[in-house]
Every structure is written in structure tokens, then in C-alpha cells.
Amino acid sequence: MTNPYVGIKDYQLWRRSVARVETHLFDPVENPRYKIDSAMKIATAGSCFAQHISRQMQRIGFHYLIAESGEELTAQERSRRNFGVFSARYGNLYTARQLLQLFEEVFEGRTPLDTAWQRKDGKFVDPFRPLIEPDGYETEEAVREARRSHLASVKSVFLEPDIFVFTLGLTEAWRSKSDGSVFPLAPGVSAGSYDPEKYEFINFNVSDVDKDMTLFLEKLKAVNPRVKVMLTVSPVPLVATYEDRSVLVSTTYSKSVLRVVAEQMLARFDWVDYFPSYEIITGSYAGGLYYEDDYREVNSIGVAHAMRCFVKNYVSRPVEDEIATTMPPLPETPPQSGVICDEREIEMMRP
């Protein structure tokens, strides 16, 4: 008697690879499609979870591509004005459609009708990255000028990287009824004004996201033939849903769609890989351990776990480990007793 599961690998078995492993040692990455070395240029984009990935890439010492560095500014000013959060100052690209339309704007002359939204304080902002410039702009033309400059930088984010990391974040979005442009935030939330005649809610389905991601990836490969792509799905739940249902139910729908599309891209393109940071953070094995007290934001322990798995599996020679490889192996420590505390110590504990 035999069955097809005889001889499967340990990582295919829950008990061996999940239940019997210490939480911080769990590693779901198997058979990575490529390796990354410290000479390769890495660019990142995506939802807010992608910001963690960006920071860690820089901290670890990868060649992280920053097309808009703000090098003339002080470090404090760069941070305040969101330089280096991603490879360019596009802000959070929550949806695949946002990514696609950004690419089309850079390479194909796509021209959105909405070019500047006014804030309550009278300043103007870019509707496609409304939070990127905290001080806003004095005029609509200043917004347009800043965007022209921004798009020139974004071009190199698509042309130059060896690895493009994109974190799929949401399926819910708001779009212009006039030209279909999708915005990262609903009009009226931080700037602009909500007019049901001009804007509408959209919740993308698998087919929509599949189409957008496929199109983007094909176009990206056409302009940058050496690029490899890493897709991740953000484990951060929706902050709000416009669907008339529980935000948790909407979150499950949204993440499910994105996870399915990531899998479809994996099947379609052999130069695309999926990094399971979503599973590392949300998996039942972690029991919510990797979330902050609001059950939404991912904490530093969770981010560190995801990045450990990333470095271990994708980095051909971890930059940090270069130090370790040059040092002798840790000497064996002779067995020791040392379990009987001295009397003064025990005295403190006596009732």
C-alpha cells in the first residue's frame, strides 16, 4: 500500500514544518527562483507594508535604488518629506491599477484629468500621492511641475533595478468616472472633495487585478529585460471598508484576491517570485504575535522575522553574514554546571 504523500518533503507537512518549530524559526520559503547579491539594484513600491521592506533593505546593506534621494536636504527634512520611503516619492501604491497607471504615465504619456487637489488649508497636493509633501504646494501649477520632475525619476525605478519588489495592498479604491484614474485615498479624505458625479468606489476582483498585474509585468519586462520581480501581499488589514459589511470580512476578501493574483503571476512568469511575508505575519502559528495592539499594524518582531526569511533564502551572500564568514567558528563551550546559585541569591527568593 502506498499513497502520493509518502516521501513528501518536511516543509509539505504541517506537523514537521510548522507545529514542531519554534515560532521565530518558522520559514515558509522554499525553492526561491533567484538569488540577490549586494551588487544588484533593488527597487520597491507598494502599500504601507512595503515601507518596512524598504527600510530593512537599506538597513541590511543592499544596493537599494533611490531615484529621488533629496541629497541636498538634511536627514530630518528628507524623512519629513518622505524621501527614501520607497525608491521614488510615489507614496503608497495600494492597488495593481495604481502601479499600472503610473507606468503608463511615465512611458506612454497617460495624462490623468485630475492634476491637483486642494486641501482644507488652501494648499494644493498631488491626487496620486496626496501625503507625500506635508507642506503642500501654493499653486496647482506647482503640483504639476513637481509631478513632472517626479515622473522623470520614476522612470529609472522601472528601467534600472535588477529586482523590483511590489507589495499588493488593497482591492478597494476610488476612481475618476472621467478617465478611470485610481487614487490612493478617496477624494475628500486628505484633500479634494468627494463628488459622486465625478468619483466612484471600486472593489477590484481577481480578474481585474490579474489583468492589471499581467499588463504591468509585461510592460516592465519590455523596458527592463533583466528585471526580476518579487511580489508580496501586505498583511496589514484594511483601515476601513466602503463595502457595507465588516471590515474584517472585506480584509479577507481583499487579501484573498491579491494572494490569488500573486499565485497566478508566479505561474505565468518564471522571473516573478512570491515572497510569503503575508503568511509569516498572519499565519496561525504566530497567533497574532506579529501585530501591534490594534491588531493591524505589523510590529518590529514580525518585520524582523519576515526579513530573516528573506535574507536567508534570497541573498546569495548575506551582507551581514560577510562578517560572520570571516570569523572562526564559535568555540565549543565546555559543559558547565552553574545551576546552583550562591546563598545570597537564593536568600532573596526565600519567602
Q: Footprint of other proteins on this chain (CB under 8 A)?
A: 20-25, 287, 289, 300-301, 304-305, 308, 320-321, 323-324, 327-328, 330-351
Residue nearer to other proteins on the CB measure, 39 or 340: 340
Nearest approach in angstroms of CB 54 to other proteins is: 18
Nearest approach in angstroms of CB 316 to other proteins is: 18
Nearest approach in angstroms of CB 298 to other proteins is: 13
Q: What is the C-alpha separation between 329 and 277, in angstroms, rounded?
A: 31
Residue nearer to other proteins on the CB measure, 225 or 335: 335
292 half-sphere exposure, CB direction, 13 A CA radius:
9
Cell 528573506 sits on residue:
310
Give the 3-state DSSP-derived string for the chain, with helices as H, strands as E and coil as C: CCCCCCCCCHHHCHHHHHHCCCHHHCCCCCCCCCCECCCCEEEEEECHHHHHHHHHHHHHCCEECCCCCCCCCCHHHHHHCCCCCCCCCCCCCCCHHHHHHHHHHHHCCCCCCCCCEECCCCCEECCCCCCCCCCCECCHHHHHHHHHHHHHHHHHHHHCCCEEEEEECCCEEEEECCCCCEECCCCCCCCCCCCCCCEEEEECCHHHHHHHHHHHHHHHHHHCCCCEEEEEECCCCCCCCCCCCCHHHHHHHHHHHHHHHHHHHHHHCCCEEECCHHHHHHCHHHCCCCECCCCCCECHHHHHHHHHHHHHHHECCCCCHHHHHHCCCCCCCCCCCCCCCCHHHHHHHCC
Residue nearer to other proteins on the CB measure, 83 or 278: 278
Residue nearer to other proteins on the CB measure, 31 or 325: 325
Nearest approach in angstroms of CB 117 to other proteins is: 40
Nearest approach in angstroms of CB 32 to other proteins is: 21
Nearest approach in angstroms of CB 50 to other proteins is: 20
Nearest approach in angstroms of CB 13 to other proteins is: 16
Q: What is the C-alpha separation between 95 and 186, in angstroms, rounded?
A: 13
Residue nearer to other proteins on the CB measure, 268 or 312: 312
Cell 498583511 sits on residue:
235
Q: What is the C-alpha separation between 91 and 327, in angstroms, rounded?
A: 41
Residue nearer to other proteins on the CB measure, 17 or 264: 17
Facing residues of 272 across strands?
A: 229
Residue nearer to other proteins on the CB measure, 71 or 345: 345
- Burial, 322: exposed, middle or buried (Cβ in 10 Å; 0-12, 13-18, 19+)? exposed
Nearest approach in angstroms of CB 62 to other proteins is: 16
Nearest approach in angstroms of CB 327 to other proteins is: 6
Residue nearer to other proteins on the CB measure, 242 or 285: 285
Residue nearer to other proteins on the CB measure, 31 or 336: 336
